[in-house]
Amino acid sequence: MPDTYSAQALLDDKDVFAKLTPPAKLGVFGDPVAHSKSPYFHNAALKASGLDLQYVRLHADAEIFSQAVKALPEAGFIGANVTIPHKQAALEAVDEADDYAKQSGAVNTILVQDGSLYGFNTDGPGLVRAIREEFFVDLRDARVLLLGAGGGAGRAIAVQCALEGCERLVLANRTFEKAAAMATELGQYFRSDRLIGPADRCVAVPQTPEGLRTEIGQVDLVINASSVGMKRTDPSPLPAALLTANLLVFDTVYSGGKSRLVEDAEAAGARACNGLPMLLHQGALSFEIWFNRKAPLDVMRKALLESVA
Ligand code: NAP
């Protein structure tokens, strides 16, 4: 079981992580963070790449998060990942962020270079790779129904769909106003006659059985970016009766094995998978940002699967 440290340690003693064996020069900030699977596959990747350093969990509450991030250069870190609930604050904490991170409003990967902090978001690109690998489909070719479009992951995925120029994007969210605002914001990316037919290319619907029923026949790929499904007892965010065999169903939730959504989709004859491939690929992309080389994907996949077995 990899160790979890308080991020306060970064502020108390700048050398504390450099003194570990091997020295810790990478980590993941979160609150909570003890459940994070990232150390398993990143440490396996570091070992396989002959890099004598380690990746640790860094528990940071909102009060110290930004200060701890700013302490990374002094502490000799190469970079870090950021998870719930700090991805939005990370965008503010870095010196510069790339365009996708700015537009998605969140940073999940920090690179330290020449004393400065650079922010990236690998969630959207990680999802693209995961969908290609699992379903042999490019996001840009899909008509997408995005559940939970108003959350942090939902926003990152919606922006990715827009930048990829996917065929169609249906944004659904429990709080409908957030999905509607997103559709207004992203509408500019969908202004073309690419799709022949009566349906608008970017629309928002309430995440209700009625709202979803009107759109399910005009999408190919359902992505759940809501947090429904994280608990084993959670219901599915999409009524089982709406699932059909022609759909591809990607649930970004990865805790607790198969979610109800994945189970229902498979029972309907659809191809479905949980969020582990996205977790893997966002991590591989972080590795590539830190080391400017291809990540040892097979080693990382094996370590991730062993950690959840
Ligand atoms: P978040 O910002 O808190 O957003 C939560 C989303 O879920 C919002 O859209 C929220 O709707 C919706 N929601 C919450 N409870 C609901 C309920 N009872 N019924 C319907 N909708 C509900 O969280 P997040 O950071 O985006 O994370 C969301 C999920 O994405 C988590 O399961 C996380 O594990 C997953 N994720 C996976 C990966 C990966 O690599 N696989 C990466 C990032 C995130 P409202 O707007 O109405 O509140």
| 214-254 tens-digit pLDDT | 999 999 999 999 999 888 888 999 999 999 999 999 999 99
- Distance of CA 64 from the midpoint of ligand 1 (Å): 24
Sheet harboring 79-82: ordered strands across?
4-6, 54-59, 24-30, 79-82, 109-113, 116-120, 96-97
| 174-204 tens-digit pLDDT | 999 999 999 999 999 998 765 555 568 999 9
How many C-beta atoms lie closer than 10 Å to residue 293's C-beta? Answer: 9
Q: What is the Cα–Cα distance from 251 to 255, expressed in whole angstroms?
A: 11
Which one of 146, 226, 259, 274 would you pick to mutate in the ligand 1 pocket, going by the greatest count of ligand atoms within 8 A of its CB?
226
Tokens found for residue 253: 């939730």
Work out the average pLDDT over 295-307: 97
258 and 131 part of one domain: yes
114 and 135 part of one domain: no
| 29-76 tens-digit pLDDT | 999 999 999 999 999 999 999 999 999 999 999 999 999 999 999 999
pLDDT of residue 231: 81
287 and 246 part of one domain: no
Question: What b-and-e string marks burial along 159-172, b requiring 16 or more CB atoms within 10 Å of the CB?
Answer: bbbbbbebbbbbbb
pLDDT of residue 197: 58
Work out the average pLDDT over 11-15: 94
Which atom number of ligand 1 is nearest to the Cα of residue 178? Answer: 46
Work out the average pLDDT over 95-120: 97
pLDDT of residue 3: 82
What proportion of the chain, given as a percentage, has pLDDT over 90?
A: 91
Tokens found for residue 104: 């998605």
Tokens found for residue 100: 């996708």
162 and 239 part of one domain: yes
254 and 289 part of one domain: no
Q: What is the Cα–Cα distance from 309 to 281, expressed in whole angstroms?
A: 19
HSE, CB side, 13 Å, CA atoms: give it for residue 253: 26
Query: What percentage of the chain's residues is helix, strand, coil (to nearest 5)?
Result: 40, 20, 40
Q: Is the CB of 102 under 6 A from ligand 1?
A: no
130 and 224 part of one domain: yes
Mean pLDDT of the chain: 95
Tell me: pLDDT of 207 over 80.
yes
DSSP, collapsed to helix, strand or coil, labels residue 104 as helix
181 and 303 part of one domain: no
35 and 140 part of one domain: no
Q: What is the Cα–Cα distance from 70 to 197, expressed in whole angstroms?
A: 51
132 and 27 part of one domain: no
Q: Beta-strand (E) ranges in the chain?
A: 4-6, 24-30, 54-59, 79-82, 96-97, 109-113, 116-120, 143-147, 168-173, 202-206, 221-224, 248-251, 271-273
Which atom number of ligand 1 is nearest to the Cα of residue 226? Answer: 7
Tell me: pLDDT of 257 over 90.
no
250 and 283 part of one domain: no
CATH code (residue 25): 3.40.50.10860
Phi, psi at 284, each rounded to 5°: -65, -40
- Distance of CA 173 from the midpoint of ligand 1 (Å): 10
Q: Is the CB of 150 under 6 A from ligand 1?
A: yes
CATH code (residue 138): 3.40.50.720
The protein residue with its alpha carbon nearest to ligand 1, atom 7, reads 226
Cis peptide before 22 (omega within 30 of 0): yes
The catalytic residues are: 87
Tell me: pLDDT of 2 over 90.
no
Tell me how many domains the chain contains.
2
pLDDT of residue 196: 55
| 269-288 tens-digit pLDDT | 999 999 999 999 999 999 99
pLDDT of residue 309: 86
Phi, psi at 98, each rounded to 5°: -80, 170
Work out the average pLDDT over 71-84: 97
pLDDT of residue 203: 96
142 and 221 part of one domain: yes
Cis peptide before 85 (omega within 30 of 0): yes
DSSP, collapsed to helix, strand or coil, labels residue 10 as helix
pLDDT of residue 224: 97
Q: What is the Cα–Cα distance from 161 to 125, expressed in whole angstroms?
A: 10
Strand partners, 205: 172
Determine the structural domain holding residue 165 and report its residue range: 124-274
145 and 62 part of one domain: no
- In the numeric block, the tokens 């969140």 are attached to 106
